[in-house]
Structure 1
Amino acid sequence: MTALALSTPGLFAALDRRQPLLARAGWASLALLLLCLAAMTVDARLINGVSVWTKPAKFAASFVVWFWTLAWAWGVLEPAAQRGATARLVLWGTLAAAWFEMGWITLRGALGQPSHFATDPLGDVMYQLMGAGAVTLVALAATLGVLVLRRGDATRQARGWIFAIGWGLVLTGILGGLTGATISGAGTSHIGGMPSDAANLPPFYWSRNGGDLRIAHFLGVHAMQALPALALLLPGASTRLLALGAAGWTAMTLAVFAAGLLGVPLP
């Protein structure tokens, strides 16, 4: 199947058939997102000028999309590849790293403490471990992408669709890893300007008075959706055209990344 010509219930059922653990992890993340949004309405505490539940909500939303994208990609693999050791590593490594990250971020939000760039001893140690978890997540996404490119089921999938799914995941690993590692190494996502999120626009709260490396990180990790979306918009597109799309997304991400490093704010 090269297109999402499904009703909404049919799409969710397809996700569950493709990889039930990832599909249900997405539902669990959605439930957590709704709980965080509800908590915002009754909890007035702030971190960095915004609700203590903002970061858990953003990460929960991100993991909904992450899990469901990987579940869909799973169905592109040959049946034997789905049962192989590499696929099992991707599956269990992703679930472990994602729920470790999500659990700690949510706990810190509930305690009214920052999960990222924390200054208390435990928070600092856990932030380092979260960095390892983030590297694990993008590396496993890229691993799944390589597996799709090598062992995509060409008897049931168009070549362009396999290319788009595989390279989208690989680019997520590369671009998400590069931008995420830079943020971690810099000790901040803000370059110039004030680091408070209070004056920035929801839901992402990207900086409007200085550079913000989170924008490039967002683009990088969503390459896994961008390239398949291009394949859906251009049915029957050649791999050469899709490769141009991948190059364009990469160039845009790197340009936004460079602007952030230079302290250039959003327009």
Structure 2
Amino acid sequence: MTKTWHRPTLRVAGAMAVLTLVTLGGLLFDGRVLQGAPLWLKPFKFAVSLAVYSATLSWMLSLPHKGKRWTSGLATLIATVLLVDVALVAIQAARGTFSHYNTDDDTWNQVVQFMFQYSIPLMFLANVVLAVILSFQRLTAGNSRSVTWAVRTGLSLAIAGMAVGYLMIFQFDKHVETTDAAGRAVELRGGHSVGVPDGGDGLPVTAWSTTGGDLRIPHFVGMHGLQVMILLALGLTAVALHERTRLRLVLIAATGYSGLLALLTWQALRGEPLIHPSTTTLAVFGCLAVAVATAVGWTITADRAAPAPVRQPVPRR
């Protein structure tokens, strides 16, 4: 089956899996830190996240669809940019310095920042074009409309999550003077935290801020909406439901997930920690949860009340 998968993205997924092991070794045996976090934590998270994302793209492009030459070329471009960018993140970690927002005039760092300046928009644009191409056709995965729409909505969510990443860069008024792992002075422009400096108290593993807003949260949630939607659609195929019911559930989930992504972005921009939500945030989340649960309940009830589909006999020739 893997022979039909898109090979460049599959190879990148394998490379990210190897990098995950390498960075895990760094976490275990390299005690250096950046802004209070383990030096190798960032490349570790990048490797895990992009291994999953690349593997998902590889599988997705194995679905029968038109314009495979275009989608394959775009995915190859995405895979190349991902590989280069994560390699740069890992190299900067090995050097004991910051990969993003770093204004150091060191020659190599200037090369890294120059690469990010052009590669990130290029990858974003390639994902947008890929999503547009796949959105105007039906992916014939067992003639499943629910899987088709899971891919469409999942790609849209992933692109929205990527777009949130630009909010980190556009914090132009955020200037932080800090030191790298070797004690050298570094100035950072931009950042992921809102209302507090980067590098404060954070959650285990993710290091998401527990004292202020953190744009990495909606960035992560959006990026992996693609995996959530596809897994949901594939899981629903194992349930005895009408195809139209599975499609409705996928669309309800996509709507609810979009609402959650918007809520998390709004929460972060208000400088509010994920684990300390305000009354307003909780109220909006509660309304969203009730709306989704109500829609799901109504859909399943309607499915049970509907007559079972009748299979037409195949005429003999």
Common fold by TM > 0.5: yes
The 8 Å contact of residues 141 and 170 in structure 1, kept in 2 or not, is answered as no
Instruction: Give 1:243's aligned residue.
Output: 251
Q: 2:290 maps to what in 1?
A: none
Question: RMSD value over aligned CA atoms?
Answer: 2.0
- Displacement after TM superposition at 1:23 (Å): 1.3
**Offset at 1:262?**
0.5
Matched, 1:120 2:120: no
Whole-angstrom CA distance in 1 between matches of 2:146 and 2:21: 36
Residue 158 in structure 1 maps to residue 161 in structure 2: no
Q: Structure 2 regions of 5+ residues with no counterpart?
A: 172-189, 238-242, 276-317
Q: CA deviation at 1:147?
A: 2.7
1:183 aligns with 2:150: no
Please, what TM-score do these two structures have when normalized by structure 2?
A: 0.72
Give the CA deviation at 1:36: 0.8
Q: Residue 19 in 1 paired to residue 6 in 2? A: yes
Aligned residue runs from structure 1 range 79-118, under 5 A: 81-82=67-68, 84=69, 86-118=70-102
Q: What is the CA–CA distance in structure 1 between the aligned matches of 2:42 and 2:84, rounded to whole Å?
A: 15
Structure 1 range deviating more: 14-23 or 53-62: 14-23
The residue number in structure 2 matching 1:69 is: 56
What residue is the counterpart of 1:209 in the other structure? 211
Show CA shifts across 1:54-80 (max 9, x none).
1111111111011101001101232x5
In 1, Cα distance between equivalents of 2:15 and 2:8: 10
**Separation (CA, whole Å) in 1 of partners of 2:154 and 2:117:** 22
- For residue 41 of structure 1, give the secondary structure of its aligned residue in structure 2: helix
CA distance in 1, matches of 2:166, 2:139: 33
Q: Going by fraction, where is helix more abundant, 1 or 2?
A: 1
Q: Please, which of 59, 69, 76 is the counterpart of residue 46 of structure 2?
A: 59
1:155 Cα deviation from its structure 2 partner: 7.0
Instruction: Give the Cα separation in 2 of the matches to 1:193 and 1:31.
Output: 34
Match of 1:262 among 240, 247, 270: 270
Alpha-carbon distance between aligned partners in 1 of 2:133 and 2:64, rounded to the nearest angstrom: 8
- CA offsets, 1:203-247, max 9 Å, x none? 210000001011011111111112112213433344343222212
C-alpha separation in 1, matches of 2:15 and 2:210: 33
One of 23, 30, 34 as aligned partner of 1:47: 34
Equivalent position SS for 1:115: coil
Q: Is the 1:131–1:184 Cα contact (8 Å) retained in structure 2?
A: no
Structure possessing the higher radius of gyration over alpha carbons: 2
Within the candidate set 146, 151, 171, 2:132 is matched to: 146
- Partner Cα separation in structure 1 for residue 267 and residue 139 of structure 2: 40
For normalisation by structure 1, the TM-score amounts to 0.85
Structure 1 residues 233-267: Cα deviation after superposition (integer angstroms, max 9, x where no partner): 43334434322221211110111101101010121
Aligned partner of residue 67 in structure 2, secondary structure: helix
Structure 1, gaps ≥5 residues long:
1-13
How far apart, CA to CA, are the structure 1 residues paired with 2:124 and 2:161?
7
Assess, with a 3 A threshold, how the Cα gap between structure 1 residues 104 and 142 changes in structure 2: closer, same or farther. same
One-letter amino acid of the structure 1 residue matched with residue 146 of structure 2: G
Alignment-mate amino acid for residue 103 of structure 2? T
Q: How many residues align?
A: 249
